């Protein structure tokens, strides 16, 4: 059961990483830095925040508090990434830290206690916390991308295609498969 949990969590993180990258590819470089108003965040600012969070949470994951004393969370919301190259570097570095921390985890690690701002979490709770946090922000990025893109290509089931999608699914034999497999496999093609 627990190994299924770890595998599922990894696939879901990969899925949200892929959604972000497909969003980046559908907007112009300038649109990555657009923000609706001073209170809102651009895609680039959201990436910078995710990067700071990921480095803090996943560095020394099992042994030190997830809110590192070197993290400057307030600076993560300054829209100062220079260009798309820097944005992608931060994006990839953050995910690198995450996967380097989560990939070696085993079933015995799941019940261990870790801390985030001195609040105890089981490893499962900490992973769930971050999975929800990243999905929330990637969803914001996708929403901004959909508003700005000249022509948006759906990242899931396109409008008007739900019945066809369901017909294809129900035409298959029942089987066990993680819901992200088809999306992640399409991305690798």
End-to-end CA distance of the chain: 30
Integer Cα distance of 74 and 66 in angstroms: 16
- Partnered with residue 21 across adjacent β-strands are none
pLDDT digits (tens, 9 = 90+) for 26-58: 999 999 999 999 999 999 999 999 999 999 999
* Predicted pLDDT at 184: 73
CB neighbours of 73 closer than 8 A, spacing ≥ 6? Answer: 49, 52, 53
CA–centroid distance for 34 within its chain: 20
Question: Which one, of 50, 4, 30, 25, lies nearest residue 187 by Cα?
Answer: 25
Integer Cα distance of 123 and 148 in angstroms: 37
pLDDT digits (tens, 9 = 90+) for 85-143: 999 999 999 999 999 999 999 999 999 999 999 999 999 999 999 999 999 999 999 99
Integer Cα distance of 153 and 78 in angstroms: 29
Integer Cα distance of 167 and 153 in angstroms: 21
- Cβ neighbour number for residue 153 with a 10 Å cutoff: 9
Domain ranges of the chain: 2-156
Q: Which residue has the higher pLDDT, 184 or 163?
A: 163
Integer Cα distance of 172 and 141 in angstroms: 33
pLDDT digits (tens, 9 = 90+) for 11-30: 999 999 999 999 999 999 99
Question: Which one, of 50, 12, 39, 33, lies nearest residue 127 by Cα?
Answer: 12
pTM across the whole model: 0.91
- Which residue, chain included where needed, has tokens 């953050």? 94
Integer Cα distance of 46 and 115 in angstroms: 24
CATH 1.20.120.450 fits 2-156, yes or no: yes
């Amino acid at each position: 059961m627990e190994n299924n949990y770890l595998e599922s969590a990894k696939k879901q993180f990969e899925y949200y990483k892929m959604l972000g990258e497909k969003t980046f590819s559908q907007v112009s470089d300038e649109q990555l830095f657009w923000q609706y108003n001073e209170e809102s965040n651009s895609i680039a600012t959201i990436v910078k925040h995710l990067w700071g969070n990921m480095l803090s949470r996943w560095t020394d994951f099992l042994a030190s508090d997830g809110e590192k004393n070197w993290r400057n969370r307030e600076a993560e919301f300054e829209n100062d990434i220079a260009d798309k190259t820097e944005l992608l570097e931060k994006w990839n570095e953050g995910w690198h830290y995450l996967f380097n921390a989560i990939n070696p985890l085993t079933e015995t690690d799941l019940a261990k206690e870790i801390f985030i701002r001195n609040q105890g979490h089981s490893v499962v709770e900490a992973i769930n916390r971050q999975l929800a946090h990243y999905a929330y922000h990637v969803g914001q990025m996708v929403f901004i991308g959909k508003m700005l893109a000249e022509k948006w290509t759906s990242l899931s089931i396109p409008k008007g295609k739900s019945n066809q999608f369901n017909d294809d699914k129900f035409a298959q034999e029942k089987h066990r498969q993680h819901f992200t497999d088809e999306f992640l496999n399409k991305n690798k093609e």
